[in-house]
């Protein structure tokens, strides 16, 4: 439900939110559309693929075998979701079609689906060859490309047709304060995350990590 809700929220943002005088002006169920349900289902499949490829990397025995069986189908589902959401996005009222297909911008935006196809092929190849870490990393790459596509579609808007990043930004003094905190905290978070990955670098078996 958490993954589905994230996808629905993303779909609702992409299709636009009614805002007047910086106040929400839509109805209770404006978020509930076929497009938002599609994005919700796509995020669920994507997260399931991340989970399956993580299990391929970090487990062994029957758990890994089952995850490896699920991974190709989930990968196919994710690619289908990416294609379906991309095509549906071009049909929305905002200028997504122009951003992706107008010349000369298309010379750059076309690299996103091209890279997606390349990573998808590498993903299938890695699974066929029995690789363990590569499918997980390639799935992360597919997610990164979807985020890049989202940035291309929405920038500089936070809410299409309503709020830009400049409209939604906090005062400069607040931004400077948060920047100082980020400079201190982000290295700590990265160091802690790296240490956690190192501690749990082995595989999970019947007797724990090894």
pLDDT in tens, 15-57: 887 777 767 777 788 888 999 999 999 999 999 999 999 999 9
How far does CA 189 lie from the centroid of its chain? 21
Give the DSSP H/E element, type plus range, for residue 167: helix 165-168
121 shares its domain with 177: no
Looking at the structure, do residues 125 and 156 belong to the same domain, yes or no?
Answer: yes
pLDDT at residue 209 is higher than 80: no
Which run of H or of E encompasses 190?
A: helix 172-199
81 and 132 housed in the same domain: yes
Least confident of 16-30, 95-109, 185-199: 16-30
> What integer is the mean pLDDT of 72-84?
95
pLDDT of residue 185: 95
- 183 and 130 in one domain? no
DSSP character at residue 18 = -
- When divided into structural domains, the chain yields a total of 2
Confidence label for 207 from pLDDT (cuts 50, 70 and 90): low
Which uninterrupted H or E stretch holds 201? none
- Residues 176, 191: one domain? yes
Pair 38, 124 in one domain: yes
Dihedral, CA atoms, 130, 136, 139, 144, nearest 10 degrees? -150
- Are 125 and 199 members of one domain? no
Secondary element (H or E) of residue 205: strand 204-205
Residue with the larger pLDDT of the pair 161 and 37: 37
- Inter-residue long-range contacts of 143-151, CB under 8 Å, 24+ positions, other chains counted: 143/46, 143/50, 145/112, 145/115, 145/116, 145/119, 146/46, 146/82, 148/112, 149/86, 149/112, 150/10, 150/14
Cβ atoms of 12 and 31 within 8 Å: the answer is yes
CA 48 – CA 85 distance, rounded (Å): 18
What confidence score (pLDDT) does residue 210 get? Answer: 59
Confidence category of residue 188, pLDDT binned at 50, 70, 90:
very high
Band of residue 190 on the pLDDT scale cut at 50, 70, 90: very high
pLDDT of the residue at 179:
94
At 92 the pLDDT is 83
C-alpha atoms less than 13 angstroms from C-alpha of 75 in its C-beta half-sphere: 28
Together in a domain, 200 and 152 = no
The residue whose two tokens read 């095509």 is: 87
Say yes or no: 76 and 139 in one domain: yes
Residue 76 pLDDT grade (very low, low, confident, very high; cuts 50, 70, 90): very high
- pLDDT, greater one: 205 or 7: 7
Let me know whether 76 and 106 are in one domain: yes
Within this chain, do residues 70 and 103 fall inside the same structural domain, yes or no?
Answer: yes
Residue 202: give the domain boundaries: 170-210
Query: Which of 153, 162, 164, 8 has the alpha carbon at shortest distance from 92?
Result: 153
> Are 47 and 71 in a shared domain?
yes
Contacts of 74 (CB under 8 A, 6+ apart): 45, 48, 49, 52
């Amino acid at each position: 439900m958490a993954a589905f809700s994230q996808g629905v929220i993303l779909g609702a943002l992409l299709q636009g939110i009614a805002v007047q005088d910086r106040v929400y002006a839509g109805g209770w169920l404006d978020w509930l559309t076929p497009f938002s349900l599609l994005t919700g289902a796509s995020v669920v499949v994507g997260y399931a693929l991340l989970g399956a490829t993580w299990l391929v990397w970090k487990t062994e025995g029957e758990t890994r075998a089952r995850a490896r069986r699920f991974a190709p189908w989930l990968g196919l589902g994710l690619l289908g979701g990416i294609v379906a959401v991309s095509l549906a996005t071009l049909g929305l009222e905002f200028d997504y079609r122009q951003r992706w297909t107008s010349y000369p911008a298309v010379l750059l935006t076309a690299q996103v689906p091209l890279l997606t196809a390349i990573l998808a092929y590498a993903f299938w190849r890695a699974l066929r060859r029995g690789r363990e870490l590569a499918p997980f990393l390639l799935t992360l790459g597919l997610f990164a490309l979807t985020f890049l596509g989202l940035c291309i579609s929405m920038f500089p808007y936070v809410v299409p047709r309503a709020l830009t990043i400049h409209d939604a930004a906090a005062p400069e003094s607040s931004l400077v304060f948060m920047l100082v905190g980020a400079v201190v905290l982000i290295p700590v978070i990265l160091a802690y995350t790296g240490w956690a990955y190192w501690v749990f670098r082995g595989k999970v078996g019947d007797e724990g990590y090894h």
